[in-house]
């Protein structure tokens, strides 16, 4: 993680979510959960790409906040799937999602704090 920028970290998370979900033998009832996870996990990196193209400070915070929400949503869907499937890739995704939430929260908090102080 130290060698990657935050977008690279988010992109890896998205890519690994796709890989992990493609390896699951998902039943009919769990399919909507996997589709929701696919949507939220891939959205994290997409929103971080948009953060890099923010046109204002408000836009930056807004897009970063969306990426953070999507990472948190991903945790929810992963937790549901972990209850039904014993899968090391899902456990890794869970840890990565938690790490991303911490990182994105820290970036947002520091940015907001610097805005208040500066």
Phi, psi of 24 (to 5 degrees): -80, 145
What is the per-residue pLDDT for 86?
83
Give the sign of the dihedral formed by CA 81, CA 86, CA 90, CA 95.
positive
How big is the CA angle at 45 (ends 94 and 109), to the nearest 5 degrees? Answer: 80
Q: Where are the domains of the chain?
A: 6-117
Beta-carbon neighbour count of residue 5 at 10 Å? 10
pLDDT digits (tens, 9 = 90+) for 75-108: 999 999 999 988 899 999 999 999 999 999 999 9
What is the per-residue pLDDT for 115?
64
pLDDT digits (tens, 9 = 90+) for 19-63: 999 999 988 999 999 999 999 999 999 999 999 899 998 999 999
The superfamily (CATH) of domain 6-117 is 23S rRNA-intervening sequence (1.20.1440.60)
Which two three-digit tokens encode residue 1? 């993680």
């Amino acid at each position: 993680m130290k060698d990657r920028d935050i977008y690279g970290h988010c992109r890896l998370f998205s890519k690994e979510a796709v890989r992990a979900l493609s390896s699951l033998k998902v039943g009919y009832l769990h399919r909507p959960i996997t589709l929701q996870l696919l949507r939220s996990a891939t959205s994290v990196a997409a929103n971080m790409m948009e953060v890099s193209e923010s046109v204002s400070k408000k836009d930056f915070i807004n897009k970063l906040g969306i990426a953070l929400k999507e990472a948190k949503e991903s945790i929810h869907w992963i937790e549901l799937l972990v209850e039904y499937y014993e899968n090391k890739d899902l456990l890794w995704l869970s840890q990565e999602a938690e790490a991303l939430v911490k990182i994105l929260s820290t970036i947002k908090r520091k940015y907001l704090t610097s805005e208040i102080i500066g």
